[in-house]
Amino acid sequence: MRTTFLLLTYLFICIFNTEAQKTTHFYLDSVAQANQLELCFSEDMVNLQRTIYPPKDSLPLDDYLKRLAYESHLDIQLKGSNLIVTNPNEQTILVSGRLRDLNSNEPLPFAHILQRDWGTGSITNAEGGFELHVPSVLSGLPLEFSCMGYSDTTIIIPQGDSLNLNIALRPKPYNLNEVLVLPNGNTAEDLVRMACKRIKRNYHRKTAQMDAFYRRTGFRDSTFVQLIEAALLVEDKGIDMPSSTTKIKIREIRKSQNYLVPMDAKYKWAFERTEKYLFGGHRNMFYRAIGNPVRTYKADWWFRPLVDYNTFKYEFEGAMWLDSTKVYKVKYEYDALYPNGKRASEVGDDFFGGYIYINASDYGILKMNRVEEYYGDDKQKQVFRIGNKTLWDNEYSFQQINGKYYLKYIKDLDWSRAKSFIYENPDADDKDKKVKSRQWAEQLLVITNVVTERQQRERIRQKELLDRHENSYETNYPYNPEFWENYSMIKQKPLPGKAIEDLEWEKSLEIQFEENSTANVED
């Protein structure tokens, strides 16, 4: 009897201890919140998802942190108001190069790079380049490269730095038999309707937190004239909740000087009034950047290709493969009926539409493009000009985690919030003005980590919450050079050499970042 009692007691203790175990991140985050500390670590170098036995709450803070360090095999130091976590054996391997099409040799921008064992990854930049700093413990493990429409490929992470790799992906041709026959005899519109119908089933409906990297570059023709970069924490309430419930916290931010030629005061006032009407007062660049046509598929009043079947027409363009996933590609085009009885697609050569890439197995939307091509002499449509046509191409990509879809990245063009055109003869009549320079901006938002478990999410305090009506273009924020020196996304997405050369014509970027921070703003 006594033996049975002791055995049951032992089993109860084991079960209790197992249930009490949580991740290293949970305990560190609890310590940081309780002591008003800033938790600092590099996701690429430190694994905080290991489940550990909890230290006793009664321990002094220093002893508690020592116990956490012992259990998690990490180096945990308290410096001022920062709780810094590092890998004691932290050594990295630099892997860099270029990803290209095997046949055409063209670069493959925004292709996926993933190391599955560590659970970390990135994407190639706009020129197909990549630069990753991976922990040396991953030497000998596979690094996967994949891009929609191509067969994926794998390389083995070397023991030392490996630079200037030239990696080619083989295109996966369309399967013509599948192109000719749509599933169950459906039309292209039916595919879009099905994808829209499945949005609430396919996309996450519970709150998720996402770490994100944001970069905004301003241009005057081909010259870089502005740079804004930020590390963000985004809290998305799920597809059932309006996008206005999204929360954003700035972890770190840095800004260069703004060399854009500003618009005249009277036009700026009108622009801001229009912006307030169109975007609900969203002068905050970060809230505007996080929006996408799947997240707001019903709310958008002017761009609704997923639900407005009378205004858009659809064309099936074939099947392709992303890794082992069969994907349907559908082209959509704005085709509203005009009062004169003609459709929009019948008037002129302009194109306003894009492409939808739909997972053939669950009808989840893996990617969407919004494309605008304008021909002719309309100056208001010539900001983004290539040859004799104007091109606006925005891309929204999604990733699947545990059976649900989450945002992966967004890249788009945007107005510069300055003069769109600089004229050679500004005093001439509008019809006689000659454009000397054009100004615009490009935005990139990359989701670097997604946290779905409630106990692992970081609580965003009200005072940390970014105001969606704040003019983030002109507001100054604190600048932390130590953070940017070690931030992995800057190493993976370095600025082109020309950008640095253009922006540093007057003073170094480091000085510009300091001058545009709160440290240099008078009260």
Q: Is the pLDDT of residue 381 over 60?
A: no
Return the bridge partners of 219, or none.
Answer: 224, 440
Which of 59-73, 110-124, 140-154 shows the lowest mean pLDDT across its residues?
Answer: 110-124
One-letter amino acid of 406: Y
Q: Is the pLDDT of residue 513 over 90?
A: yes
Cβ atoms of 151 and 173 closer than 8 Å: no
Residue intervals of the chain classified under CATH 3.55.50.30 are 2-86
Instruction: Report the candidate in 281, 306, 414 with the shortest Cα–Cα distance to residue 364.
Output: 306
pTM higher than the cut 0.85: no
189 SS3 class: helix
Catalogue the E-assigned strands of 208-308.
Answer: 208-220, 223-236, 247-255
**CB-based contacts of 101, cutoff 8 Å, min separation 6:** 107, 108, 150, 168, 169, 171
Rounded CA-CA distance 239/107 in Å is: 34
- 92-169 has CATH 2.60.40.1120 classification: yes
The enclosing H or E element of 274 equals: helix 265-279
Q: If you average pLDDT over residues 371-390, what whole number do you get?
A: 61
Return the bridge partners of 129, or none.
Answer: 98
Q: Is the pLDDT of residue 107 over 90?
A: no
Residue intervals of the chain classified under CATH 2.60.40.1120 are 92-169
Residue 493: predicted pLDDT = 67
Q: If you average pLDDT over residues 356-381, what whole number do you get?
A: 81
Return the bridge partners of 423, or none.
Answer: 435
The CATH code that applies to domain 2-86 is 3.55.50.30
Residue 320: predicted pLDDT = 76
Backbone phi, psi, residue 20, to 5°: -80, -15
Query: What's the full length of the chain, in residues?
Result: 523
Residue 263: predicted pLDDT = 85
The total of other beta-carbon atoms located within 10 Å of residue 405's CB is 21
Q: If you average pLDDT over residues 498-513, what whole number do you get?
A: 93
List the end-to-end C-alpha distance of the chain, in Å, as a whole number: 76
Which of 191-195, 273-277, 446-450 shows the lowest mean pLDDT across its residues?
Answer: 273-277
Catalogue the E-assigned strands of 289-376.
Answer: 312-322, 325-334, 351-359, 365-375
Residue 190: predicted pLDDT = 93
Instruction: Report the candidate in 473, 13, 49, 77 with the shortest Cα–Cα distance to residue 275.
Output: 473
The enclosing H or E element of 288 equals: helix 285-289
Instruction: Report the candidate in 124, 116, 108 with the shortest Cα–Cα distance to residue 171.
Output: 108
pLDDT band at residue 127 using 50, 70 and 90 as cut-offs: confident
State pLDDT tens for residues 394-415. Answer: 899 998 888 899 998 998 888 8
Q: If you average pLDDT over residues 472-487, what whole number do you get?
A: 88
Instruction: Report the candidate in 164, 117, 111, 169 with the shortest Cα–Cα distance to residue 142.
Output: 117
For residue 133 the two structure tokens come to: 């700093």
State pLDDT tens for residues 3-48. Answer: 444 444 444 434 334 445 577 888 888 888 888 888 877 765 677 7
Averaged pLDDT score across all residues of the chain = 81
Rounded CA-CA distance 417/85 in Å is: 40
State pLDDT tens for residues 166-207. Answer: 999 888 765 444 444 555 657 899 999 999 999 999 999 999
Q: Is the pLDDT of residue 284 over 80?
A: yes
